Chain A
Amino acid sequence: MSSTEELVKLSASQMAAQIHAKEISSRELVEAELEVIDAAEPSIDAFLQVSREQALEQADALDKRIASGDTEDLPELAGVPVAVKDMIVTKGIATTAASKILEGWIPPYDATVVEKLKAAGMPILGKTNLDEFAQGSSTEHSAFKSTKNPWDTGRVPGGSGGGSASAVGAFEVPLALGTDTGGSIRQPSALTGTVGVKPTYGGVSRYGAIAMASSLDQVGPVSRSVLDAALLQEVIGGYDQRDSTSIPKPVPPLAQAAREGAKMDLTGMKVGLVKELSGDGYQPGVEARFNEGVQLLQDMGAEVVEVSCPHFSYALAAYYIIMPSEVSSNLARYDGMRYGLRVMPPEGTAQTAANMMSATREAGFGDEVKRRIILGIYALSAGYYDAWYGSAQKVRTLIIRDFEEAFKKADVLISPASPTTAFKFGERMNDPLAMYLSDVATIPANMAGSPAMSIPAGLSDDGLPVGFQFFAPQMRDEVMYKPAAALEAALEAKWGGPIHRDLKTPWLGNK
Chain B
Amino acid sequence: MATFTREEIEHLGDLARIALTDGEIERLRGELNVIAESITKVQEVAGDDVPPTANPIPLEAYLRPDEVQTPLTQAEALAGAPETEAGMFVAPQILGEE
Contacts and interface: CB of A to CB of B under 8 A. Distances in A.
A391 B46 contact: yes
A317 interface: yes
B75 to A, nearest CB: 9
B62 A361 contact: no
A207 interface: no
Given A341-B82, A353-B93, A318 B42 contact: yes
A341 B83 CA distance: 10
Nearest to B89: A338
A139 to B, nearest CB: 20
A342 interface: yes
A362 B18 CA distance: 5
| Interface of B: prevailing SS | loop
B66 to A, nearest CB: 12
Interface in A361-411: 361-362, 365, 367, 370-371, 373-375, 377-378, 381, 384, 387-388, 390-398, 400
Interface in A221-250: 241, 244-245, 247-248
B68 interface: no
Contacts of A321: 39, 42
Contacts of A314: 41-42, 44-45
B10 to A, nearest CB: 10
Contact of B77 (A108, A351, A388, A390): A108
B26 interface: no
A387 B1 CA distance: 11
A350 B24 CA distance: 23
A394 to B, nearest CB: 4
Contacts of A371: 28, 31-32
A378 B12 CA distance: 7
A353 B12 contact: no
A354 B91 CA distance: 10
Contact of A432 (B34, B50, B59, B83): B34
Interface in B29-76: 31-32, 34-35, 38-39, 41-47, 50-57, 59, 62, 64-65, 72, 76
A378 B27 CA distance: 16
A447 B57 CA distance: 10
A392 B91 contact: no
Nearest to B29: A374
B47 A354 contact: no
Interface in A417-436: 432-433
A338 B81 contact: yes
Interface string A93-132: 0000000000001111100000000000000000000000
A495 interface: no
Interface centre among B17, B51, B81, B97 (most CB of A within 10 A): B17
A433 B39 CA distance: 11
Contact of A433 (B8, B34, B81, B83): B34
B18 A391 contact: no
Interface centre among B2, B16, B43, B83 (most CB of A within 10 A): B16
Interface string A48-70: 00000000000000000000000
A397 B9 contact: no
Contacts of A446: 56
A259 interface: no
A388 B52 CA distance: 12
Given A354-B97, A388-B39, A394 B18 contact: no
A356 B92 contact: yes
Nearest to A450: B56
Interface string B81-95: 111000001011110
Given A245-B59, A342-B82, A374 B92 contact: no
B18 A365 contact: yes
A108 B72 CA distance: 8
Contacts of B53: 393-394, 396-397, 400
A375 B72 CA distance: 35
B42 A448 contact: no
10 contacts: A106-B80, A108-B80, A314-B45, A317-B42, A335-B17, A342-B82, A353-B93, A384-B2, A394-B46, A433-B38
Given A354-B97, A357-B17, 19 more contacts: A108-B77, A248-B62, A314-B41, A352-B94, A354-B17, A356-B92, A370-B24, A371-B28, A371-B31, A377-B12, A377-B15, A378-B2, A392-B46, A397-B52, A397-B53, A398-B50, A433-B35, A448-B56, A474-B56
6 smallest CB-CB distances across A and B, nearest first, come from A449-B56, A393-B52, A339-B80, A342-B82, A391-B46, A394-B46
Interface of B: 2, 4, 8-9, 12-21, 24, 27-28, 31-32, 34-35, 38-39, 41-47, 50-57, 59, 62, 64-65, 72, 76-77, 79-83, 89, 91-94, 96-97
